[in-house]
């Protein structure tokens, strides 16, 4: 009998046991709704971050394959929210990036403050698809939305004494659990030489993937310098200070042997821990291997900024 | 005390078998987990690093587990526990092999010149590679025949596990960028296990 049954119906499942398609799809729909509801409870900022921005497309990185939104927003180095790569997405939900204003001080005609709204009106928002090379030898391709830092510098009117710019990140141990632990010397400080800051590639990003910048990526405004290692990109910038002398940045203070002020992507200057001649592209899969790292992360046009400099010494 | 231990040496075979089966089962779970996560594409944004970290961590865990046996034996007066120590050590070796494989295959795609550069330029990789090399003679002599052949020298040879432990911990410390919480925890456990071996007066008599 068993044999007989199997011959007619190899799976041995009675037709009456099969779920009708409509019911099956209804269940899927229900699961989806439940899933979205659960997500919005667990990750309330996912909904806030959905706010889209108006921007102009540019030719930067047109040929690049973008890293997925999930990886760009789920694999972050942002020690104010924890040292694990998944910590920032999880721990930054309580952080409120608005209202926001940046203090402009130091060697400027007049110290002043600029609100995020004002800042976003200084120049049209542009989409810049940039490669991002982390000092830990992995990389991504991210469609940033932002404006040239130069627009803000022009507005700030620095004096002749301004040789460098210092970026100070927001530091709020109450809403930034990682900032309660002295892994680094808080607040996070980064810096650029004036000509690096004026370089057209250097932007202040306020969004990615067409939307407002998620908290874990440095909301509401962060620095993006695509020819330098990722840690140069100060997040949640609260103060911009024009200074005469080279700023002592956070990672330089943490380990001067490992992290230099310039931190230009350079395959021929090795880090004591990581090979810098090749990198793993995030999202490429288990068997994709490594790709060769390019000088200045492939942004050759910045080479002239360092003409005559020994980049092995000034790493 | 010592003679008492010797006298009570009767192998509870069933218990040993059960314990070994449990170790086999438990030790294969992390591999199963990696396979499931890999097939379902749930290894995160950097799957290669995930596998390298996971297999490396488990190699260290099994090294520490194998070091628990001797103090546990003395503490409980159950000398037969020695029967599972070799199995734990071999699982450490298995995870160390997987760790190395994920490094040369997934991470470096068998690019030997780049691997050589990575090993000799970066102290943490060099230390890790040395630790692995040192596990080879231990794994090769983890059988009855070798024990019989080497006799007293077997014991001295297998003291290498302490050095491997130190190198593995150093490998971990140097790999971490800034947050050393986890290496600290493993180092404390290692230090405690070493301390538990130190028994003034009688540490020469038995081990």
B135-173 residue pLDDT tens: 999 999 999 999 999 989 999 999 999 999 999 999 999
User: Which residues share a beta bridge with A238?
Assistant: none
d(CA A65, CA A42): 30
CA distance A71 to chain B (A): 5
Domain that holds residue B89: 2-197
* Strand, helix or coil for residue A222: strand
Average pLDDT in chain B = 90
Structural domain spans, chain A: 54-306
Q: Nearest 5°: phi and psi at A92?
A: -95, 10
Which chain A residues are closer than 8 Å to B111 by Cβ? 289-290
More confident site: A19 or A89: A89
CATH of the structural domain A54-306, one choice from 3.30.1360.150, 3.50.50.60, 3.40.718.10, 3.90.420.10: 3.90.420.10
Kindly calculate the radius of gyration of chain A based on its CA atoms and give it in whole angstroms. Answer: 24
Residue A237 in contact with residue A169, Cβ under 8 Å?
A: yes
Averaged pLDDT for residues B55-72? 97
Which chain A residues are closer than 8 Å to B108 by Cβ? 289-290
- A307 inside 8 A of chain B by CB: no
- A86 inside 8 A of chain B by CB: yes
* Structural domain contains residue B205: no
What total of structural domains would you count in chain B?
A: 1
- A306 inside 8 A of chain B by CB: no
Take residue B207 and report the two structure tokens written for it: 């081990």
Q: Mapped to the 3 state alphabet, what secondary structure does B92-150 carry?
A: HHHHHHHHHHHHHHHHCCCCHHHHHHHHHHCHHHHHHHHHHHHHHHHHHCCCHHHHHHH
pLDDT attached to residue A2: 44
Take residue A180 and report the two structure tokens written for it: 């309660």
pLDDT attached to residue B1: 44
* Structural domain contains residue B50: yes
Take residue A33 and report the two structure tokens written for it: 């709704």
* Structural domain contains residue B202: no
Helix (H) or strand (E) holding B21: helix B13-39
User: What b/e string do you get for B55-70 counting C-beta neighbours within 10 Å, with b at 16 or more?
Assistant: bbbbbbbbbbbbbbbb
- A78 inside 8 A of chain B by CB: no
Report the DSSP pairing between strands A126-133 and A112-115.
unpaired
* Structural domain contains residue B203: no
Report the DSSP pairing between strands A237-243 and A101-106.
parallel
Helix (H) or strand (E) holding A88: helix A87-91
Contact B46 A282 (CB under 8 A): yes
d(CA A105, CA A112): 7
**What ipTM does the predicted assembly reach?**
0.82
A27-51 residue pLDDT tens: 555 555 555 555 555 555 444 446 8
For chain A, the farthest-separated pair of C-alpha atoms sits apart, in whole angstroms, at 96
Closest CA to A232 of A167, A276, A172, A183: A167
A250-274 residue pLDDT tens: 999 999 999 999 999 999 998 888 8
């Amino acid at each position: 009998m068993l044999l007989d049954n199997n011959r007619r119906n190899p799976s041995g499942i009675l037709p009456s046991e099969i779920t009708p398609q409509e019911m099956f799809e209804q269940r899927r729909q229900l699961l989806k709704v439940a899933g979205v509801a659960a997500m919005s409870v667990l990750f309330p900022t996912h909904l806030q971050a959905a706010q889209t921005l108006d921007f102009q497309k540019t030719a930067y990185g047109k040929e690049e394959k973008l890293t997925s939104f999930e990886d760009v927003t789920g694999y972050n180095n942002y020690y104010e929210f924890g040292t694990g790569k998944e910590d920032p997405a999880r721990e930054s939900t309580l952080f409120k990036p608005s209202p926001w204003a940046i203090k402009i001080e130091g060697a400027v005609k007049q110290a002043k403050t600029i609100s995020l709204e004002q800042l976003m009106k200084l120049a049209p928002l542009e989409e810049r698809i940039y490669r991002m090379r982390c000092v830990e030898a992995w990389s991504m391709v991210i469609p940033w939305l932002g404006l040239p830092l130069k627009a803000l510098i022009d507005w700030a009117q620095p004096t002749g004494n301004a040789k460098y710019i210092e970026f100070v990140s927001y530091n709020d141990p109450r809403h930034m659990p990682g900032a309660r632990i002295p892994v680094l010397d808080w607040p996070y400080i980064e810096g650029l030489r004036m000509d690096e800051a004026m370089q057209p590639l250097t932007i202040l990003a306020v969004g990615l993937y067409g939307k407002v910048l998620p908290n874990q990526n440095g909301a509401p405004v962060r620095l993006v310098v695509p020819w330098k290692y990722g840690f140069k990109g100060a997040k949640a910038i609260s103060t911009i200070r024009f200074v005469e002398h080279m700023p002592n940045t956070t990672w330089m203070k943490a380990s001067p042997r490992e992290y230099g002020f310039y931190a230009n992507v350079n395959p021929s200057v090795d880090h004591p821990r990581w090979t810098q001649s090749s990198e793993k592209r995030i999202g490429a899969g288990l068997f994709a291997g490594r790709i060769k790292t390019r000088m200045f992360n492939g942004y050759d046009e910045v080479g002239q900024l360092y003409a005559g400099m020994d980049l092995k010494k000034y790493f | 005390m010592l003679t008492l231990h010797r006298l009570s040496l009767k192998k509870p075979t069933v218990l040993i078998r059960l314990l070994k089966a449990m170790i086999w089962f438990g030790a294969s779970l992390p591999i199963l987990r990696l396979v499931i996560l890999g097939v379902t594409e749930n290894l995160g944004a950097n799957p290669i690093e995930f596998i390298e970290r996971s297999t490396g961590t488990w190699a260290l865990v099994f090294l520490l587990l194998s070091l628990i046996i001797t103090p546990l034996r003395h503490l409980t007066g159950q000398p037969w526990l020695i029967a599972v120590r070799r199995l734990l050590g071999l699982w450490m070796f298995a995870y160390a092999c997987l760790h190395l494989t994920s490094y040369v295959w997934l991470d470096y795609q068998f690019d030997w010149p780049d691997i050589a550069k990575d090993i000799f330029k970066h102290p943490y990789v060099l230390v890790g590679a040395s630790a692995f090399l040192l596990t080879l003679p231990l794994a090769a002599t983890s059988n009855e025949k070798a024990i019989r052949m080497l006799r007293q020298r077997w014991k001295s040879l297998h003291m290498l596990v302490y050095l491997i432990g130190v190198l593995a911990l150093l490998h971990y410390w140097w790999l971490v960028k800034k947050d050393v919480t986890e290496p600290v925890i493993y180092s404390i456990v290692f230090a405690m296990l070493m301390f538990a071996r130190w028994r003034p007066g009688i540490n020469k008599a038995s081990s």
